[in-house]
Amino acid sequence: MGRNCALDCSTSDAIFVHGANGLGNVSLPAPTREFDERSAVELLHDAAVEAKGDLRILAIGPLTNIATWMTEYPQDIELIDSITVMGGSQGNGNTSTYGEFNAYADPKAAGIVYGSGAPITMVDYSITQYNYVATDTLHQSVYPNNFC
C-alpha cells in the first residue's frame, strides 16, 4: 500500500476522469494473488535491490511513493535503470491552465523525483489527447493467447 495523501498531506482525486474506483467504474474480477503486505516504499526498495541496477519504473500516477522511497533509501537511486513518468505538461494541462493532474496532485514529490538524478522520460499530458488504441488491439496486447 502506498500513501493516501501527498507529501504535504493534501489530497486530490481524479474521480471526474477515472470514476469512483479509479478504473472508470469498470468491474474487474477479484484478484487471484495474495495481497503484498509490504508498503510501497518497502516494495520499491526490495525491487531495486533485486534488480541490481536494472529497475525500470513506469509511473502512471502522482510520484508520492517514489519520492518517499528515494528520500528513505537514497542509495537505491543508483539501482534505477529508468523511470517513465506519465505526468507533467509542456503546454496545456488537465487540472489548471498548465497543470497536469499527476504533477499537480503532489508537486513536492515531482520535484524530488525529477531532481533525483535518475534517468527519467516524461510522457507529456498532450500525448493522451491525440493517441488512441483500438479496443481489439488493446485486448490482443493484454490477452495475446485469448481471441475472445
Give Cβ neighbours of residue 118 (< 8 Å, ≥ 6 apart): 70, 77, 80, 82, 83
Dist. CA 144–CA 47, nearest whole Å? 26
Mean pLDDT of 20-32: 81
Q: Which cell numbers in the block locate residue 19?
A: 470514476
> What is the pLDDT, as a whole number, of residue 80?
98
Sketch out the chain's domains with CATH numbers: 15-142 (3.90.245.10)
Could you tell me what percent of the chain has a pLDDT over 90?
47
Mean pLDDT of 125-145: 74
Count other C-beta atoms under 10 Å from residue 142's C-beta: 8
Residue 76 has pLDDT above 60, yes or no: yes
More confident residue, 54 or 141: 54
- Identify the band that residue 123 occupies on the pLDDT scale cut at 50, 70 and 90: confident
Which amino acid is it at 19?
A: G
More confident residue, 120 or 12: 120
Residue 3 has pLDDT above 80, yes or no: yes
CA distances from 40 to 66, 98, 109 (A): 8, 29, 14
> What is the pLDDT, as a whole number, of residue 146?
59
Dist. CA 50–CA 70, nearest whole Å? 16
Mean of per-residue pLDDT scores for the chain:
86
Could you tell me what percent of the chain has a pLDDT over 70?
91
Residue 9 has pLDDT above 80, yes or no: yes
Mean pLDDT of 15-20: 76
